[in-house]
Chains A and B, each alone.
Chain A
Amino acid sequence: MRIRVIAILAILIFSASWTPMTSAKSGGEGDDIRSMQCGGSCHSDPALNATSAAMVSVEQPSSKWAGLLTTVTVNITDFPESETRIVGVFLLTNDQGAKDTPQHEGWTIVADPNGGVVNYIETRVSNGETSVSVTWTLKAPVVAGNYTLLASIHHGGVGNSVSIHGNSWPISFTIDEPPEDLPRLASTFTPPNTRLVNQETIITLETEDVTDYIVEMRVPGAQSVTLDVVEGTFTIPPAINSGSIEWRATLSGVGPDQQTPWFTLIAKEEGWQSDRVELYLQAFSLLFLMTGLVLVSNRKPRAEKIDLVGVMGLPQPDITAQIISEPQQHSTPVVEHNPVISTIPPVPIEGLPAGWTMEQWQHYGEQYLQGGLR
């Protein structure tokens, strides 16, 4: 016995040491708000990861006014060979692994590169490409001061046997209080991130100290076009396919002209959607229906119960004859020839124990008579 235990332990230890200590999550983990400590929980221990050969860098924010919108772009170049070509990108404020999301430093994520509002996104490096750039739209902290941002990436290699990570150098910069008469977007304004295909988007700019607007729109990397703006409202034409367009506004007023960052608007195909109320009502209906069906499934025929009560005091052969003959639907009235009877222990003169059914007696009666269940 001891040898067997030792052998099993040895196999377990061997298998544990043979299994790779780290492995990339080949399907990714999904966009979310994540600290770099996620490297320990969702992408294995960072200490055991391989270091990425990719170069990661963060561009300086497009504007540095406290409480105003800005964009931060992360560039990844020299992306190495990877099976899935999925890369997870973190926007962080330090490399300590905890309390390192931009929100911890007072930043607000207005839009991530995938149209959400999280600091960790997953994107795919196109086949044949070795670089990718992703841009976050942020609202700067309301308190002026010195701030730091950095980016981190996670990805798999060939075979996804090892998880790989890499960090950018941190960038430091100063956030200043905006001048009082600076033409700006109001702090309450949030640009839309997503829209449906074949749907135009009407945006009304909420501004402060602005007298005139110029709004430009472009497909990323292409020439921009100017849109008509009427009292701060403009319309972005519908997208025919999924993809993104960018827009920005030039705001004029008493103070110096200000240009907003390029805001990304992602068009998505209309997917499947369901109303929560409908779904949960159906879910609760199924809950009660299933419970009811299962409860009913165990209901015994009433005739059997009446017989049980009625025959409790009768001599034993008659009891068993009645009980056994009913479920088996035998046409022969001669009970003595039924071999099943011999397997049922005799019922005591005082009847079945309280709460017992004949079925239970059939299975556990013998044990009861021997004193095991008293």
Chain B
Amino acid sequence: MISAGTFHVITTELVVGMFALAGIAYLLLVLDKKRETADIVAHWAMLGGLLALPLTIIFGIYANPTEQISNQLLANKVLLSFSALGISVGVLLNRWLNKGPISGRLHPSIGMVACGMILLVASLGGMYTRGESLLFFLPKDIVLIFPVWASTILLLMGLMLISKSAVDHRRG
């Protein structure tokens, strides 16, 4: 039987490739070069990566069968990938709600941050499996795990922001 770890690697390659392409396209948008093409490529590539990302996370979770997360790298991977997922969803929703290219540098900059976070997650994976990473200088043994009440507050804040944004959008 093919293990979850193998599927995790396959989907990871897909996500990393898509997000790397999106990152370059967002960089072009930040630099205000080839705006029309870069806008299309950036958002479609990010959408492609985003579709594969949940699979990557699920296979990654199943690849580590223990009940407890016993490695800081794994915890950082989970938190970073979910954060990047959230940013990416926000970027794509903004673009979709705008019904056209979004001017300015803020939007593509946020897109670049999401791409950078995904690439960082992939780098942490390399550190976990092979003990090697180009980002060896980053502290990887620091994890901030919030208590349940703090996470619940954050969750409520997030839901409030999303609903407020939806209401504002409906008002036009």
Contact = CB atoms under 8 A, between A and B. Distances in A.
Interface string A289-316: 1111111111100100100010000000
Nearest to B166: A295
Interface in A1-54: 25-30, 32-33
Contacts of B145: 274, 278-279, 282
A291 B71 CA distance: 27
Contacts of B3: 32-33
A339 interface: no
Nearest to A373: B100
A85 to B, nearest CB: 14
Nearest to B145: A274
Contact of B165 (A30, A283, A285, A299): A299
Interface residues of A, number: 48
A161 to B, nearest CB: 16
Contacts of A277: 148
B70 A292 contact: no
B85 A279 contact: no
Interface in B1-25: 3, 5
B159 A292 contact: yes
Name the prevailing secondary structure of the A interface residues. Answer: helix
Contacts of B69: 273-276, 279
B93 to A, nearest CB: 6
Nearest to A367: B36
A360 B101 contact: yes
Contacts of B28: none
B161 A296 contact: yes
A289 B157 contact: yes
Interface in B136-172: 141, 143, 145-148, 151-152, 154-155, 157-162, 164-165, 168, 172
Given A291-B93, A305-B172, A360-B100, A275 B82 contact: no
A42 B78 CA distance: 24
Nearest to A353: B100
B105 to A, nearest CB: 12
B165 A295 contact: yes
B130 A281 contact: no
A271 interface: yes
B158 A288 contact: yes
A293 B90 contact: yes
B37 interface: no
Contacts of A292: 90, 157-162, 164-165
A296 B169 CA distance: 10
Contacts of B27: none
A297 B86 CA distance: 13
Nearest to A309: B172
B102 interface: yes
Nearest to B86: A290
A282 B154 contact: yes
A294 B79 contact: no
- With most chain B CB atoms within 10 A of its CB, the pick from A274, A288, A297 is A288
A179 interface: no
A295 B162 contact: yes
Given A285-B155, A292-B90, A280 B162 contact: no
21 contacts: A274-B68, A274-B70, A274-B75, A274-B145, A275-B68, A281-B148, A282-B151, A285-B151, A286-B79, A288-B155, A291-B162, A292-B158, A294-B87, A297-B106, A298-B94, A298-B98, A298-B106, A305-B172, A356-B99, A359-B103, A360-B101
Given A274-B145, A292-B162, 20 more contacts: A28-B131, A272-B70, A276-B68, A279-B79, A279-B145, A283-B81, A284-B155, A289-B158, A289-B161, A290-B87, A291-B93, A292-B159, A292-B161, A294-B89, A295-B90, A295-B165, A298-B106, A305-B172, A356-B100, A357-B98
